[in-house]
Each structure stands twice: as C-alpha cells, then as structure tokens.
Amino acid sequence: MASKKIWKKILFYLGIALICFFMATPVYILFRISFSIPEEVLTQHPKFLITNFTFKHWDQVLKSGNLWPPLRKSLLVATFTMLSSLVIAVPACYAISRLNKRLKYIIVLSLFFTRMFPNVGIALPISVVFLKWNLLDTHLGLVLAHLIEQLPFICWILVSTFETIPFDLEEAAMIDGAGRLQTLASVILPVAAPGIAVSAMLTWLNSWNEFTYALYLSLSTRTLPLQIYYYVSRGGFFQQAAYSTILAVPVLILTLVLQRFIRGEYLKGAVKG
Amino acid sequence: MKRFLKKYYLEFAFILPLTLYILGFTILPISKTIWMSFQDPTTGRWGLSVYRELFRRPDFVRSIFHTVVVTLIELTIQMTLGLLIAMALKQDFKGKGLARSLVLLPMGVPTLVAGVALIYIFGTQGYLNELLFQLGFIKTPVYWTSGGIKSLFTIAFADSWKVMPMVVLLFLAGLESIPSEIYEAGSIDGATKLQSFRHITLPLLKPTVTMVILLRAVDVFRIFELPLILVGRATPFLATFAYDEYRAYNNLHASAAASTVLLICIILFMYLYFRYVDKGGAFGNGK
C-alpha cells in the first residue's frame, strides 16, 4: 500500500516535470539561439546545451541602426493606445457598470461579439480607407486600429472592476454634497485604481505585441513585430531570435509582475454578468 | 423624455465615444467587407460571382478545411491538457509556485515570438527532429512544416503551447468555484476519485468548459500569425488566405469574401455548439 502511494507520487512529479519542460523549452531555445555561434545550431544536429556563446548577433542588431525606429514606433503606439483606450473606456465602463443587470449583460455580450469578427475582415476596409486619409505608416493610424481590438478587451476588465465597487460608497459621497463628477474622481477612481492599472498594462502589452493590423497598415515603417516578420521571411536566423528576445523581455517582466492579478475571473466575471 | 435625458445625460456622454468608435471602426468595416464580397470586381454588379470564383480554387477550399481541422485538433488538445494541468496545479505539492510560473510562462511570450521559437523546434534542422533522432525514432529529418496533416498538428501544438496559460487559468478559476464540501460529501458516500471527477467536477465545470471552448474556438478560427510564420503559403488558412489575396494579388473582393466565409464559419460553429452540445449553456446559467 505504502509503495503504491510512493509510486503515485513519483508519477505525479514526473508529470509535473514533463509539463514544465514542455512549457519552458521554447523560451530557452530562443534565448539560446540568440547567443550561439552558427556552427552549433545551423547544422543537422543542433546542440541543446550552451557550450559556446557569442554576443556577435546582439552586436549586429544593436549597431545596424534597424532597431531604433521600430522600437520607437512600437513604444509610442503602445503607450498612446493605452492612454486613449483609458480615456474612452474608463467613463464608459463606469456608466455601464451602473446600468441595470439585463442591459449590462447585453452590452458586455455584444462587446464579446465584436471580438468574434475576423481581424483580417476589419483590417481590409480600414487599410483601404486609411490609404485615402493618408494614415498608412503613421502612428495615429496604428493607434486608431489598435483601439479596435483593445477597447472591447479593456471594457471587459473595467466593467467587472467597477461592478465590485458598492453603490453605497457613491451615495455616501453624494449625501456629503459631492457632485457626480467629483464623486467619480475622488471616490470611485481611487478605489478602482488597481483594476485600472492592470487593464492599462494588459492593453499596453497587447498593443506592443499586435501584428495583424500593423501588417495591413504599414508599408515602409515597421513596428517590432513587423521587424521580426521581415527577418523571418528573409531567413535571418539569428536576427529573428535577437529581435524576438527584445520584443519578449518587457512582456515577460510585466506578466511576471501582473501574474498575481491576471486571473480567469476577469474574463469570466464579465461574461457571467 | 426630457427628464430622462436630464437625469442620464452624464451616462450618455460617458458611453457615447465608445459606442461611436465601435460603430465606426468595427461594425462599419465589417459591413463594408461583407458588402464588397457580394460585388463583382469588374462589372460592379451584385451577386455571388466572387464566391463562385473562390470555391473553384482548390487552395481556398483547402484553407477552409485546414481552419476547421486545426480548430478541432486544438480544442481537443487544450480541453484535455488544460483541465489536466489545472487539476494538477490545484493539488498541494513541493515546488508548486515554480511549476505555476513555468506553466504561465508562455503568456509572457508574444504570439509572434512563440512562432519564431517554434521554427527552431519544428524546423527541418530543428530541435524536435534532433530529439527524435537522438532517441532513435527517426533516421532522416521530418519536414514538419511542408504541408499536409503534419503541418496542421504542428500549428495546433504551437498555438496550444501559447494559449495554455489562459486555458489553465480559466479552468483553475472554474475548479476553485466548486465548493470543497461537495467533494467531502462525495467521499463520505464512498465515491472514488474517478467517480467524483465524473459526477462532481465535470457537471459543475460545464459553464467553464463552454466559456473556454467558445473563447478558444473564436480565436483559433481567426488564427493568423503562427501559420504565416511557420508554414506560409504551403498550408493556407482562411485568415492567411485573405491576407495573401489582398497584399500579394491585390484582390480586394476575394479577400473580403474569404473574411466573410471565416465569419460565417465562426457563427456556424457557435450555432451548432449551442444547438447540439450545450443547450442554453453558460451564458444562460451564469446569471
């Protein structure tokens, strides 16, 4: 009996180890390639462990001058997408969260359905129109396009954030003579601040990673994801690893920071109404 | 009416920008795409000529087939593995924190980067071939991304790796919402672990399952970056097909028609799911 239990435990740990191995390996390989010398990985039998490493590819990437323009564009677009989505979504979500349950449910559900539309179907007419408006290759154009995806997303999180704030809190402030806007600014927003911060960071990340709209709306300038795609389609074996690492680092750091806050409930609570 | 407006003017002012944005930048473009797909590119007449043209092309029909098959493979992988991992992570064991962080790791990897990392693994000179070679399963390298059913599985595995954290988190939340008293009651009544899984966990997890299936299915149908990077034109999917029609051939109407077909696939899937699998499912129960 006891030995059976031990076997079960060993099997369990083996399973866990296997899962962890599968989840971590691709990331490890990516870092590994960006540091490795060509003879080790560009062969029939690539080596798994790092025996020899070089900063050559990193040096090339940093000195080539191809890094800064896309990096700048990605940073600017992500930041402005985050700010404008907050400006549009925070008041709207507050208002939605105070509606009656049925109406709220309908709105949240229709937000979900806008996410159902294929991106390529939205990006096509958008890129045709932006060509007319001279918005291709501009930061503004890309921010406008990223908002399409990010607004429903941020609203999901924000509605469920505002919902958790009891109505009594507002009433108390109003009885004390605060106006509605004043109540919102000095009572509601501070309480909702953590949720707003999390949603803002997630929006920033989504925009930083976004690829489809950037691909449709860029002709000569590139964002970081486009730069990676450029090297993939050209077969820049080491550049793609280095650029991928650059793209992934802020994401990894932010997700580690946010890990405690990202929960399934965010996605779930919103839909369950 | 006037009193109504006066009372709710703030709410209206708050919701208006969001509504206008979604109308102008989501609903309008989608309608335009659908509209365009029913218009003949040369004569400008209404009709199904674009669709007739498309369905005559074998690569388009293949792209529909690929999209549907990959969705089914992925849902199977993600449902079983996701639930398994979530249940493992719900146990208490040494090193749980580390295991949890590692499982959530892909969430910190952009989809595109995941694609690049998986090129190194599934490439002809990649690590998977090397591993299989070292273990003695194969003598010559396998061309994982050259097309056919192998490529579909490659894409399905790649995407499943990337989204596993989200699936696991959703399942964990679902598992945690099941009160432990029910399990205790079950074990007092003499239920084995398998029985309590079959008769307690699964039925109570049904809303979560529906939720995950719908979220994932919608995303997988629209799969774009990974196929573009990993398999390219060898294995077209509906989204990559639509992109190629636009960028490579400047065929706006064909691209619009492909997107419309994709939208129809998604709606059809949801309809069939609610009609036959989950009658009155999670959206109804959740209230």
In chain A, CATH 1.10.3720.10 sits at 64-272
Q: Report whether pLDDT(B101) > 50.
A: yes
pLDDT at B151 exceeding the cut of 60: yes
pTM for this predicted structure: 0.85
Annotation: CATH topology of A64-272: MetI-like fold (1.10.3720)
Q: Give B55 to chain A, closest Cα distance, Å.
A: 18
Find the closest chain B residue to A104 by CA distance: B287
As a whole number, the mean pLDDT across chain B is 85
pLDDT reported for residue B55: 92
φ/ψ (deg, to 5) at B286: -65, -20
Report the distance separating Cα B98 and Cα B80, nearest Å: 22
What average pLDDT does the segment B29-47 reach?
87
Which residue from B108, B164, B224 is facing A119, i.e. has the nearest CB?
B224
Q: What is the average per-residue pLDDT within B182-199?
A: 85
Q: Give the confidence band of A273 by pLDDT, cuts at 50, 70, 90.
A: very low
Amino acid code (one letter) for B168:
V
| Residues B230, B118 contacting (CB under 8 angstroms) | yes
**Does pLDDT of A78 surpass 60?**
yes
Torsion of CA A229, A231, A235, A241, to 10 degrees: -90
Chain A residues 102-141 with CB within 8 Å of chain B: 105, 109, 111, 114-122, 124-129
Cα–Cα distances in angstroms (integers) from residue A137 to residues A150, A232, B202, in the given order: 20, 21, 50
| 8 Å CB contact of B116 and A241 | yes
Is A211 within 8 Å of B111 when comparing Cβ atoms? yes
Mean per-residue pLDDT over chain A, rounded: 83
A171-202 per-position pLDDT tens digit: 888 888 778 788 888 888 888 888 888 889 88
Other Cβ atoms within 10 Å of A235 Cβ, number: 8
pLDDT of residue A238: 81
Quote the tokens at residue B91: 């146990």
What whole-number distance in Å separates Cα of residue A270 and Cα of residue B122? 37
User: Does B28 score more than 90 pLDDT?
Assistant: yes
Q: Band the pLDDT of A51: cuts 50, 70, 90.
A: low
The nearest alpha carbon in chain A to B177 belongs to A265
CA distance A129 to A133: 6
Under the banding of pLDDT at 50, 70 and 90, the label for residue B285 is: very low
Among A11, A19, A234, which would you mutate to test the B interface (most chain B Cβ atoms within 10 Å of its Cβ)? Answer: A19
- Tell me whether A64 touches chain B (CB under 8 Å): no
Partner A contacted by B230 (CB < 8 A): no
Global ipTM: 0.83
* Contacting A residues, span 171-230, partner chain B, CB-CB under 8 Å: 180-181, 208-209, 211-212, 215-216, 225, 228-229
| Rounded distance between C-alpha atoms, residue B210 and residue B216, angstroms | 10
3-state DSSP assignment of residue A36: strand
Alpha carbons A86 and A90: distance in angstroms, whole number: 5
Taking the C-alpha atoms of residue B195 and residue B164, their distance in angstroms, rounded to an integer, is 26
At B280, the pLDDT band (50, 70, 90 cuts) reads low
Q: What confidence tier does A260 reach under pLDDT thresholds 50, 70, 90?
A: low
CA B164 to mean position of chain CA atoms = 11
pLDDT band at A213 (very low <50, low <70, confident <90, very high): very high
d(CA B69, CA B148): 11
Residue B282: pLDDT over 50: no
- What is the nearest CA distance from B25 to chain A, expressed in angstroms? 6
pLDDT at B258: 93
Torsion of CA A202, A203, A204, A209, to 10 degrees: 90
Residue B255 scores a pLDDT above 90:
yes
pLDDT for B287 equals 33
Q: Quick one: which of A195, A163, A170 has its CA closest to A185?
A: A170
Which contiguous run of DSSP H or E holds residue A83? helix A68-97
> What is the reported pLDDT for A129?
92
Say if B15 is an interface residue toward chain A (CB within 8 Å): yes
Tell me the backbone φ, ψ of residue B93, rounded to 5 degrees.
Answer: -155, 165
Question: What whole-number distance in Å separates Cα of residue B124 and Cα of residue B146?
Answer: 9
Nearest to B236 by CA among B69, B56, B118: B69
Interface of A with B in 8-47 (CB under 8 A): 12-13, 15-16, 19-20, 22-27, 29-30, 33, 41-46
CA distance B17 to chain A (A): 6
Look up tokens 């449910």; give the residue: A105
Residue with tokens 């290759």: A137
Is B153 within 8 Å of B102 (Cβ atoms)? no
Query: Is residue B61 within 8 Å of residue B55, measured between CB atoms?
Result: yes
The pLDDT, as a whole number, for residue A1 is: 56
Least Cα separation, residue A45 to chain B (angstroms) = 6
pLDDT of B17 over the 50 cut: yes
Does B284 or A42 have the greater pLDDT score?
A42
Q: What is the structure's pLDDT at A270?
A: 40
Tell me if chain A has a CB within 8 Å of the CB of B56: no
Amino acid at A187: V
- Out of B18, B103, B263, the one facing A117 most closely (by C-beta) is B263
Q: Under an 8 A CB cutoff, do A88 and B260 touch?
A: no
Inspect the interface and report whether the beta carbons of A15 and B29 lie closer than 8 Å. Answer: no
A247 touching B (Cβ < 8 Å): yes
Task: Over range B271-285, report the average pLDDT.
Answer: 68
Residue B196 has pLDDT above 60, yes or no: yes
At residue B170 the predicted structure's pLDDT band, cuts being 50, 70 and 90, is confident
Q: How far apart are CA B162 and CA B108, in angstroms?
A: 9
Cβ contact A130:A141 at 8 Å: yes
Element (H, E) at A215: helix A212-217
Strands (E), chain A: none
Residue boundaries of the structural domains of chain B: 58-285
Position A44 confidence tier, pLDDT thresholds 50, 70, 90 = low
Q: Which residues of B touch A252 (CB under 8 A)?
A: 105, 108-109
pLDDT of residue A266: 52
- In the block, which residue shows the tokens 């009996």? A1
Which residue in chain A is spatially nearest to B286 when comparing CA positions?
A272
At A53, give phi and psi (nearest 5°). Answer: -130, 160
User: Which tokens belong to B144?
Assistant: 């994982």
Mean pLDDT of B85-106: 85
Tell whether the model's pLDDT for residue A36 goes beyond 80.
no
Which of B26, B93, B116 minimises the CB distance to A30?
A: B116
**How many cross-chain Cβ pairs, A to B, lie less than 8 Å apart?**
256
Please report the pLDDT score of residue B275 as a whole number.
85
> What confidence category does residue A66 fall into, taking pLDDT thresholds of 50, 70 and 90?
confident
Alpha helices in B23-110 (DSSP H): 28-37, 49-55, 58-90, 96-104
* Interface contact B30-A117, CB threshold 8 A: yes
pLDDT at A272: 38
Contact B110 A208 (CB under 8 A): yes
Question: In the numeric block, which tokens belong to residue B254?
Answer: 């064909």
- Helix-strand-coil percent breakdown of chain A, rounded to 5? 80, 0, 20
pLDDT class for A269, splitting at 50, 70, 90? very low
Q: Note the Cα B156 to chain centre separation in Å.
A: 10
Instruction: Taking residues B117-142, report their average pLDDT.
Output: 79
Name, in order, each residue with C-beta under 8 angstroms of A160's C-beta and a sequence gap of 6 or more: A195, A265, A266, A269, A270
Which residue does chain B place closest to A258, by CA atoms?
A: B108
Helix axes A56-63, A237-258, angle to 10 degrees: 90
Interface test with A, best of B18, B220, B247 (most A CBs within 10 A): B18
* Residue A37 in this model has a pLDDT that exceeds 80: no
Cα A46 to the chain's mean position, in Å? 32
Residue B202 C-alpha, separation from nearest chain A C-alpha, in angstroms: 18
Above 50 in pLDDT, residue A268?
no
Helices (H) and strands (E) in chain B, counts: 16, 0
Q: What is the pLDDT of residue B248?
A: 86
CATH superfamily of B58-285: MetI-like (1.10.3720.10)
Averaged pLDDT, A237-254 = 84
Q: Could you give the CA distance from residue A48 to residue A52 in angstroms, rounded to a whole number?
A: 11
- Write out A141-159 in H/E/C secondary structure: HHHHHHHHHHHHHHHHHHH
